[in-house]
Chain A
Amino acid sequence: MKMKRNYYEDVQMFTSGVVLFWFLTLLTGLFLLPLVVKNYYVYVANYMAINVIVVLGLNLLVGYTGQISLGHAGFFAIGAYGTLMLMVKLHLPFIVALPLAALITAGFGFLLGLPALRLEGPYLAIATLGFGLTITQVIGRLEIFGGREGLHAPDLTIGSWRLDTDIEFYYLLMVITISLALAARNIVKTRVGRAFIAIRDADIAAQTIGVNVVLYKTLAFAVSAFYAGIAGGLYAFVLRFIEPEIFTLMMSIMFLAMCVVGGVGSMMGAITGACLLSWMDLQLRNILNLPYIGAWLESISKTYFSITGVSNIQFIVFGLIMILIMTLEPLGLFGLWIRVKKYWKTWPF
């Protein structure tokens, strides 16, 4: 068994050569991906990467700090609108506008973190939920944000590099996603992350041993909001057009579902959950085009259900996944992976 001999071995980025090797393989794979697949799959990858960013942030809050948020669509919206507003109204370049908007979002996260200090359970759920709904409604009703009409994204340029195609955007997105993933992993491994985990496990005990609960709880909200803000700003450029109807309660629920399905409290879990559910989301939108199942579902719909409501099957599928994960393997896909790994490592015992 491998032992850690000092603190620096505990916090180092790559614990072994194997990990480093797989990380580099992943990087190469991601780099080569747009060269081998069709353009549509690059779009899918972009969509996934954005969800990965949000869920990484949400996981810091839900998985590591033990808070609940049903309002992440609100942060997502602030990031998206913030980035576009800063670019259109103040003519800031993208590279400045995106982090600035994310910082504004983090500010909102901090504000939401303040009531969260005193709330828990259903009270926190309704407060965050209310926050998310309020943000979307307010944005939808203010003329300055384009109201119900929405906003168009301007051209995306970084210095003299114009990003017109999905593939160019893909590389930008990957750089951001990977650096944010590494940052999240570092947060978790070091002092701040240990404070988060201490608060999750026993907040009173954490306070008695000197963890500043006020600071770290609000910080968790702020960091989580920062991630959602970055993702929102990028999402505006995936869609090229944003309107308030995009950022619904269902979106917040989906973020939470991704986090839970992947496995609360694990980085890899967050990434897998986000990738899996966003891929399914895209696939299930036109469910009748799926091979094999599509025709069968069509005939069922015609006999027993209605054909106009067939797209709602995606709700059933997501609901089932959420329930099955929670009743069979509460740690999500990551928990499943751990179980399988343990089984083979200790086989035949």
Chain B
Amino acid sequence: MIDFIQTIVSGIAAGSSYALMGLAMVLIYKTSEVPNFAQGELALAASFFAYMIMESFGLSFFLALPCALSFAFLLGCFLEFLVLRRAKTPNILSMIVITIGLEMILLGLVSWKFGADQKTMPFPISPYDSMAIGNIFISTLELVTVFVVLAIMAALYLLLRFSKMGLAMKATQQNTMAARLMGIRANRVLNLTWGLSSVVGAIAGLLIAPTLMHPYMMWDPLLKGFAAAVMGGMTSLPGAVSGAFLLGIIENIFGTYISIEFKAVVAFAIIVIILCIKPSGLFARHYVKKV
């Protein structure tokens, strides 16, 4: 029984980094219906930026953190302004291709600058510390990640639900033209959304970096986070988080009890199966297109 609970706890811990990426993707998808494949590399750029300023200027982590987050915000805004807004035919295929293009550019730049070898990120919490609650062990970093996820989810939920900005984002998504007529600067809303989601992604990157830091480190969290967001319905923040936790738990249970070898596969197999049964994800109402 202890084993089983331990498996579930580790699953939630693993799911928390997917959850952050999922939240970031949902945020962008909610306002502009763009599945942002560049999310992972935005986070990658921010983490390596933090690493760079810590290495070369000797800044402490708590000074580097706000720098990295503001860098992420500016990068997100800048890319939206420079690239996404210029798309001629904003349909789903071209948006996917553009964000993949951005992803490749950022990946190329980061790995050109830093090479492909593993780096160690100076981080206040060592990834090897762990805490025991009863007989269940969880590493301190993972515990922090779980709480950060829940805090960010709550903050984003409050932002979207109760602030003017959240209302503007919802309006932009539902009908951009009408939103413009009501005096909402739709472009600025999109721009800020990109910045915000880039910050959320960067937090994920910074929390992943202490355990694993090389140019391809964000691929797995990005894809799993995307999968989790899709599982949760792509438009719901709690859906993305619970999807991510569910994905982490299923993955870990599968890895412990069925086959450790196919652990990496099971997430995507499950996604395909879930999408077959519920095409709009588990937590979203089925979206019916008007003709």
**Which residues from chain A sit less than 8 Å from chain B, CB to CB?**
62, 68, 70, 114-115, 118-123, 125-127, 129-131, 133-134, 137-138, 141, 204-205, 249, 253, 256-257, 260, 264, 301, 304-306, 308-310, 312-323, 326-330
Contact = CB atoms under 8 A, between A and B. Distances in A.
Contact of A322 (B98, B109, B279, B280): B98
A327 B103 CA distance: 16
A127 B223 contact: no
Contacts of B116: 308-309, 312
A310 B104 contact: no
Contacts of A256: 97, 100
Contact of B108 (A133, A260, A313, A330): A313
25 contacts: A68-B96, A115-B275, A115-B279, A118-B275, A119-B279, A121-B33, A121-B35, A121-B92, A123-B230, A125-B92, A126-B35, A130-B267, A131-B268, A133-B268, A134-B272, A308-B116, A308-B117, A309-B115, A315-B104, A315-B108, A319-B105, A323-B98, A326-B97, A327-B83, A327-B98
B251 to A, nearest CB: 13
B2 interface: no
A126 B271 CA distance: 8
Nearest to B111: A312
Contact of A316 (B97, B109, B227, B276): B109
Contact of A264 (B93, B108, B279): B93
Contact of B279 (A118, A304, A318, A323): A118
A183 B290 CA distance: 36
B112 interface: yes
B135 interface: no
Contacts of A129: 223, 268
B92 A122 contact: yes
**Interface SS of B by simple majority:** helix
Interface of B: 29, 33, 35, 83, 86-89, 92-94, 96-98, 100-109, 111-117, 215, 219, 223, 226-227, 230, 234, 261-262, 264-265, 267-269, 271-272, 275-276, 279-281, 291
Contact of B113 (A119, A133, A306, A319): A306
A323 B276 contact: no
The 8 A-B pairs at the shortest CB distance, nearest first, are namely: A130-B268, A315-B108, A319-B104, A322-B101, A319-B105, A316-B108, A122-B35, A308-B115
Nearest to A321: B101
B105 A122 contact: no
A320 B276 CA distance: 35
B267 to A, nearest CB: 8
A291 B275 CA distance: 50
A190 B166 CA distance: 50
A310 B112 contact: yes
A66 to B, nearest CB: 8
B97 A131 contact: no
Given A308-B116, A309-B113, A327 B88 contact: yes
Contacts of A314: 108
Contacts of B264: 137
Given A123-B230, A131-B268, A318 B104 contact: yes
Contacts of A312: 107-108, 111-112, 116, 215
Contact of B105 (A126, A133, A137, A315): A315
B234 A122 contact: yes
Contacts of B109: 316
A127 B112 contact: no
Contacts of B275: 115, 118-119, 123, 126-127
Contacts of B105: 315-316, 319-320, 323
